[in-house]
């Protein structure tokens, strides 16, 4: 069993270098693609959780994400989640008119001058297919 586990681990790290500690952006992107694929096709696969940890470590320590992480540190969790989702979906403030309202209101929420309301949270949750708790 031990020998098989060691061989399987070596094979997995060869197939997914980020698991072995790679700092390559291409390995990071390949791991993201694999997670997306697994979520769509095999959402119970334990590799999703393992990769999520390695991806988070990469994003936390990579210079490419330094400024982004610094901005997120100063925001509420809900606003940070909204910014991440906007980035992932390549959305502008005007794209959230149906969920939040005017561009100026979205701007005020993103800058911390206003808070998300319960209605905003419900609408955003439905749009992005995530739990409401993400924005609280």
Domain 75-135: CATH superfamily is lambda repressor-like DNA-binding domains (1.10.260.40)
Q: Which residues, including other chains, have CB under 8 Å from residue 41's CB and lie 6 or more apart?
A: none
Domain ranges for the chain: 2-66, 75-135
Reduce the DSSP state of residue 23 to 3 states and report it.
Answer: coil
User: Could you give phi then psi for residue 35, rounded to 5 degrees?
Assistant: -60, -45
Tens-digit pLDDT profile for residues 67-117: 777 766 766 788 888 988 999 999 999 999 999 999 889 999 988 888 889
| Contact between residue 95 and residue 52 where contact means Cβ atoms under 8 Å apart | no
What global pTM score does this model have? 0.56
């Amino acid at each position: 069993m031990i020998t098989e586990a060691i061989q399987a681990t070596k094979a997995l790290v060869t197939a997914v270098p980020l698991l072995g500690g790679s700092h390559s952006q291409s390995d990071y992107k390949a791991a993201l693609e694999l997670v997306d694929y697994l979520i769509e096709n095999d959402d119970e696969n334990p590799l999703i959780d393992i990769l999520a940890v390695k991806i988070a470590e990469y994003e936390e320590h990579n210079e490419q994400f330094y400024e982004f992480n610094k901005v997120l540190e100063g925001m509420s969790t809900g606003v940070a989640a909204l910014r991440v989702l906007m980035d992932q979906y390549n959305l502008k403030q005007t794209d959230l008119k149906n969920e939040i309202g005017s561009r100026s209101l979205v701007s005020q929420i993103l800058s911390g001058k206003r808070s998300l309301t319960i209605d905003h949270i419900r609408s955003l949750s439905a749009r992005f297919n995530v739990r409401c708790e993400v924005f609280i």
